[in-house]
Amino acid sequence: MALLHFDDEDKLLGIELITEPAELVRYCVARDAAMHHAVRYDRFAAQVAAVE
């Protein structure tokens, strides 16, 4: 797993490699939860347009 660090202007400051198994599992759980709740861009854009 690579954790990218950026400053306030989106300039890449560095990359941190995560190799600790327990920490990798935490990141994978967060990724899986995000994917479970994700919607396609076209659906998201339609929802935003409906609100505006």
What pLDDT is stored for residue 44 in this prediction?
94
Q: What is the pTM of this model?
A: 0.64
- Flag whether pLDDT at 10 surpasses 90: yes
- Flag whether pLDDT at 52 surpasses 90: no
What pLDDT is stored for residue 13 in this prediction?
98
Class of residue 4 by CB neighbours under 10 A (exposed 0-12, middle 13-18, buried 19+): exposed
